[in-house]
Structure 1
């Protein structure tokens, strides 16, 4: 009898082993691994995220880890990735692994799709990962499918959930306000929950940017430390949740903010979450930034590998007070400086309610006859005659109550029908969930392009968050508004890009109030801040440089902070996509000559500054100076920007070591962007050094002057 029992036990054990064959899903880039594994309970777990493991056999030694997409209502005690409510009040979900597929989308780009399912609740989740192997970037999202017969209410629906196990965690977040964007703050994460979120709707990143930096073990530096950069590609309300449990484990949940966004998923429908994008580096923050920049230029930023236009904007020269004669004159100034394009900003439209201030005219996109009797067509023709291109400002998602559009279509506006309206900047937001509004917004761009085919550029603004929250179109589906509004915007942008793929467009939101990588798949660049004080811009551009490449970051020379020289202001702006927003007639002859040379240098050095690798040499947060270097991918050509902000008396100035050069190559060092008649004060200017010397010893970049700047070019010697 005992032998029979032993035999039966052995057979059952063997059957169990046969029935449970562990699945290992390895999502790899050249230098990183995300490893998922199934457990005997049939669920999927994240076992590892970090540097790439060299030996496949070592995966078996990893701990099982945490469930990859934790759900509400079962054994987990902390924040879930998914919460869904079913018929009869049921709310628990248990997701079991079903299968996965791996597809090569292009060389070095691999997609992995993992299907999980709860058979009892008839709901499935597809976890979709795209690994950009050469750039060490992973893009991931979730697709939630209602396979049942009745609607399901989604309460929380994260794009991603990542798990970490480390001794300490340090979170760097971005906060700010109008003209105070990209303020970086780093704090340790302790037990409990830290949430970064926004509820602003259309101007979602006004106070909090949709990106973060997570250091593991110790606070990462430019060159050292394990660090993850994360960002959500969503132009609406977002939420990042960082929760550290009693054992020191950290979960990071990223996705749409579920605030007032319960979503009814009908039978057979699929809800697709936005992409969460991350890169992991074991060699500090500089490496992580270069990963993202290379990826963005090649795969995400619209026309990311093309050149950009250096432009003159009329805003600070005229504000709302202009006519054809003034604009024609400014276009002549732009051509004289060697710029590519003239951009007409706010104030060109409206007739019954002319746009002479910000309290009227939004929504009425016809040229004001009193200001512009020849219309936009006259301006594009004038620009063409002067050998430059013409661009124009629009804010198509907004409306002033004092407009013909509002009088005709109050039903197109997000506002409470039974309450007094609240205005932000004297305007309201159009309901982009409404297909008729989507047609209207697309028609603004399409109409202008049809009327003026030579239009080469749009500055697309968005100055108001969503207020008075109620959609006349959605009726009883009000909790869908924050999601469908963004989807409606994407529908419009898809149509614009389908018809006008080569049209350049700047993303603007009273500064950088809506920057994210989904929006930037439609736009060529973004306006980083209305604050163009060059000292403030050093900090703002430094902050955004962690996530966004220089060619995407618009930086203009303006009259903000006249205590700073035109040279200092221009050198700061040249670290991004250079533009001017200034009364050029007020410049001296020397300043105009300098600007011409700087613009020519910017165009000549575009392959290095816009398409090269960025190195943050000296942080403005750590002293009285700042320095940034751009280096061509082959290491043969580099440009260094050095700034003395507010040096202290008798400061001991240190040399600055350069990066990214070839040690054996010899480089000629030359200061450029000098004012007419100015001699370089750079020690060693005109000399030749080895890359080894420049990276180990460095150059004397700084001085004791206030708001002084140097731009230094390094070229491999013949």
Structure 2
């Protein structure tokens, strides 16, 4: 063969090899693409599952949400079995619906690219699941625009044992200029049923957590807040959705959801033209367009949810266990009982009065004396709520010896000393406002409008963050034995304007991020100090903030009858260990009723101990000891609601220990109608049917006898099928029963 022929032959061979290589590569790519197009990503807990499918167009769709299937390969069969109508866009069931392209419904995300284009398409790139400790795993799904350097990563953190999921998104762009985010949801769920029922909550100061249930019809129902700080004042970011019919305590399909965010939120519930429910939850984009620089990431807060096919009670127990195990500070630990001075002195106190109250703290038997508002301010003394806020130095007229003296006095009385602060706020009448007017959120060209005579400090400003952290840090530096902090927040944001922010639309978001930055610093330096989250009552109760606190103040309304209802509704989302319940002089009920209601959570007192008569003092002292004997069951046990106060003459709630050996049953008369009371036995829940139990009444008032026959022994089967009558009536308006296993 001549050299020329040899060269031609080699060339043909190389071309054939190249063709074969490209063919194999192409075939492999086609096979991988085909496999990818049919890929199903499952997010599974112990009982439940969400299934996402990658389509031929690389769009990720949600094809299933509900009880977990036994065989995961069958999720792929679900889309072909549904005949609910047509979706012209093809992306109504998107896992994260973008705006500006083919979407015709409410989007999860809306952007303007660096070149001014407002369209967005999100296609599947990859997914992975990482296993963590305690049966927790996180699945991440990367989506990317095929035209723009813009990605969204969806995160699903699964707490398998608790049937709880946290979902959030991370948005990143590497375009040649800034991108503007107009909407940025944390989660986008696509839910299927014959009908949907929303149980939402509303309220105001002293009227927190008022429930309202209604059927969701075609169109959008929005739950939102635009208040800036105490954003739960009118409506919390927590809700329930029942499927096919309203769920009851023990029956029905229901989702409990809540956004872990202490700022403005927006939850859209849209019944689309095909009668499916699109649930989109996240930060409220109201007045909050966010400019994202090249290479910058934007992380949304987590949307938290649990699903149950066994009613609202099971779902709430899922959330309560999750919160104790993973979210709240020291969720498996103990809590301190408190005597607060607020309702006994308000702003009118001095060292002599406080020293007497410290002795009363010991006398009563509580663990902590909490000094509330009014201890600071000199140029502008804090003698009312219209001055001094922001000037965190002891008022020399009231406390000439300082906080340190009171801390030592508390130690001398074998109790701890706690203190109230409201570090995010400022009175116009204060030295802080005079020195740093640029630290205050308010419009420079508008009349200053106040909420409770105060403005909000600009926590988007790092200098303000340092100042706020310094308030608490200075207290602990000078008084390392401080035992408790009550962190209050009473104002909303009016006339929103930041002298620090270059883009005013960043303020609402950066404020909350600044708050969390401060709280993270506090917890890094003081990881175990008990801290109460307060906001004029329940104005800031969410798991974004509770990550840094041991407990929260549900309402300034401490009327025990009102509190039965308020605490009952809060308990669907928060465990009893987080709920600060104080005995006060609100209401007309006797002190036993007030104390019994407060025991259904974290017990505290806000009364003048010196004004109690002998029987009342004896009762309170014994009640505290009784409470400490069973509080572990209330704090860490499973809660079962037996009778709703909304539908019955009485409310009945039971807490059960993990080993089913002990339970505490609270019973409260909530009706003053003639002959109202417990005429029939109340079936219990959660007990071991094969175990035998005794029932006795606890926390009796001095000189009274129980109406319960404590000599009887019952099986768990009997108590759950027949029940026990607590004998609640006008003369026995509150009854606490202790059910103990016979061993």
TM-score between the two structures when normalised by the length of structure 2: 0.93
Match for 1:306 among 333, 348, 372?
A: 333
Which residue of 2 is the match for residue 8 of structure 1? none
C-alpha distance in 2 between matches for 1:444 and 1:598: 36
Q: Is the 8 A contact 1:646 1:706 kept in 2?
A: no
Which residue of 1 is the match for residue 380 of structure 2? 353
Match for 2:33 among 19, 34, 41?
A: 19
1:46 aligns with 2:62: yes
SS at structure 1 position matched to 2:172: strand
CA offsets per residue over residues 381-408 of structure 1, 9 Å max, x none?
Answer: 0001100000000000000011000000
CA offsets per residue over residues 178-203 of structure 1, 9 Å max, x none?
Answer: 00000011000000110000000011
Q: Is the 8 A contact 1:365 1:444 kept in 2?
A: yes
Report the alpha carbon displacement of residue 60 of structure 1 after superposing the two structures with TM: 2.3
C-alpha distance in 1 between matches for 2:392 and 2:732: 42
C-alpha distance in 2 between matches for 1:376 and 1:396: 17
Q: How does 1:59-458 map to 2 (within 5 A)?
A: 59-63=75-79, 66-458=93-485
Q: Is the 8 A contact 1:43 1:67 kept in 2?
A: yes
Q: Is the 8 A contact 1:175 1:184 kept in 2?
A: yes
C-alpha distance in 1 between matches for 2:134 and 2:384: 52
C-alpha distance in 1 between matches for 2:73 and 2:266: 37
C-alpha distance in 1 between matches for 2:711 and 2:344: 38
Greater Cα offset, 421-430 or 597-606: 597-606
CA offsets per residue over residues 554-578 of structure 1, 9 Å max, x none?
Answer: 00000001x2000000000000110
Equivalent pairs counted in the alignment come to 705
Q: Is the 8 A contact 1:647 1:704 kept in 2?
A: no
1:30 aligns with 2:46: yes
Report the alpha carbon displacement of residue 18 of structure 1 after superposing the two structures with TM: 5.0
Which residue of 1 is the match for residue 679 of structure 2? 653
C-alpha distance in 2 between matches for 1:245 and 1:394: 47
1:668 aligns with 2:697: no
SS at structure 1 position matched to 2:321: helix
C-alpha distance in 1 between matches for 2:127 and 2:113: 26
Which residue of 1 is the match for residue 647 of structure 2? 622
C-alpha distance in 2 between matches for 1:293 and 1:308: 16
C-alpha distance in 2 between matches for 1:175 and 1:42: 41
Q: Is the 8 A contact 1:643 1:702 kept in 2?
A: no
C-alpha distance in 2 between matches for 1:62 and 1:421: 58
Match for 1:474 among 494, 501, 507?
A: 501
C-alpha distance in 2 between matches for 1:253 and 1:411: 36
C-alpha distance in 1 between matches for 2:705 and 2:711: 12
C-alpha distance in 2 between matches for 1:68 and 1:491: 30
C-alpha distance in 2 between matches for 1:216 and 1:513: 29
Which residue of 1 is the match for residue 13 of structure 2? none
CA offsets per residue over residues 35-68 of structure 1, 9 Å max, x none?
Answer: 1110111111111111111112322211178110
Report the alpha carbon displacement of residue 246 of structure 1 after superposing the two structures with TM: 1.9
CA offsets per residue over residues 189-224 of structure 1, 9 Å max, x none?
Answer: 000110000000011111001100000111000000
CA offsets per residue over residues 293-330 of structure 1, 9 Å max, x none?
Answer: 00000100111111011000000000000011111111
1:611 aligns with 2:636: yes
Match for 1:597 among 611, 615, 622?
A: 622
Change (3 A) 1:49 1:573: same
C-alpha distance in 1 between matches for 2:681 and 2:245: 27
Structure 1 stretches of 4+ moved >6 Å: 11-15
SS at structure 1 position matched to 2:596: helix
Change (3 A) 1:707 1:539: farther
C-alpha distance in 2 between matches for 1:251 and 1:517: 23
Q: Is the 8 A contact 2:728 2:735 kept in 1?
A: no
Change (3 A) 1:350 1:12: closer
CA offsets per residue over residues 460-493 of structure 1, 9 Å max, x none?
Answer: 0000001121000013x00000000000001100
User: 5+ residue gaps in structure 1?
Assistant: 1-10
- Structure 1 vs Structure 2 CA RMSD: 1.5
Report the alpha carbon displacement of residue 707 of structure 1 after superposing the two structures with TM: 7.5
TM-score between the two structures when normalised by the length of structure 1: 0.97
Report the alpha carbon displacement of residue 101 of structure 1 after superposing the two structures with TM: 1.3
Greater Cα offset, 118-127 or 310-319: 118-127
Greater Cα offset, 270-279 or 55-64: 55-64
C-alpha distance in 2 between matches for 1:252 and 1:647: 41
SS at structure 2 position matched to 1:480: helix
CA offsets per residue over residues 685-708 of structure 1, 9 Å max, x none?
Answer: 342111110000001124331771
Which residue of 2 is the match for residue 512 of structure 1? 538
C-alpha distance in 1 between matches for 2:524 and 2:28: 58
Which residue of 2 is the match for residue 554 of structure 1? 580
SS at structure 2 position matched to 1:286: helix
C-alpha distance in 2 between matches for 1:19 and 1:317: 72
User: 5+ residue gaps in structure 2?
Assistant: 1-24, 81-91
Which residue of 2 is the match for residue 537 of structure 1? 563
Report the alpha carbon displacement of residue 34 of structure 1 after superposing the two structures with TM: 1.0
C-alpha distance in 2 between matches for 1:19 and 1:484: 41
CA offsets per residue over residues 437-464 of structure 1, 9 Å max, x none?
Answer: 0000000000000000000111000000
Q: Is the 8 A contact 2:173 2:294 kept in 1?
A: yes
SS at structure 1 position matched to 2:640: strand
1:701 aligns with 2:726: yes
C-alpha distance in 2 between matches for 1:245 and 1:132: 30
Q: Is the 8 A contact 1:625 1:702 kept in 2?
A: no
Change (3 A) 1:706 1:484: farther
C-alpha distance in 2 between matches for 1:580 and 1:573: 9
Report the alpha carbon displacement of residue 15 of structure 1 after superposing the two structures with TM: 7.8
Greater Cα offset, 445-454 or 639-648: 639-648
C-alpha distance in 2 between matches for 1:16 and 1:411: 61
C-alpha distance in 1 between matches for 2:612 and 2:704: 17
C-alpha distance in 1 between matches for 2:722 and 2:443: 65
SS at structure 2 position matched to 1:359: coil
C-alpha distance in 1 between matches for 2:136 and 2:653: 31
C-alpha distance in 1 between matches for 2:614 and 2:505: 59
C-alpha distance in 1 between matches for 2:647 and 2:373: 38
CA offsets per residue over residues 354-396 of structure 1, 9 Å max, x none?
Answer: 1000000000000101101110000100001100000000000
C-alpha distance in 1 between matches for 2:632 and 2:46: 25
Greater Cα offset, 701-710 or 168-177: 701-710
C-alpha distance in 1 between matches for 2:29 and 2:449: 68
C-alpha distance in 2 between matches for 1:260 and 1:83: 14
Report the alpha carbon displacement of residue 646 of structure 1 after superposing the two structures with TM: 1.5
Greater Cα offset, 194-203 or 582-591: 582-591
C-alpha distance in 2 between matches for 1:451 and 1:18: 65
SS at structure 2 position matched to 1:482: helix
Which residue of 2 is the match for residue 55 of structure 1? 71
C-alpha distance in 2 between matches for 1:291 and 1:485: 31
CA offsets per residue over residues 54-90 of structure 1, 9 Å max, x none?
Answer: 1123222111781100100122211000000013431
Report the alpha carbon displacement of residue 107 of structure 1 after superposing the two structures with TM: 3.0
Change (3 A) 1:329 1:686: farther
1:583 aligns with 2:599: no
C-alpha distance in 2 between matches for 1:336 and 1:360: 34
SS at structure 2 position matched to 1:229: strand
Match for 1:497 among 504, 509, 523?
A: 523
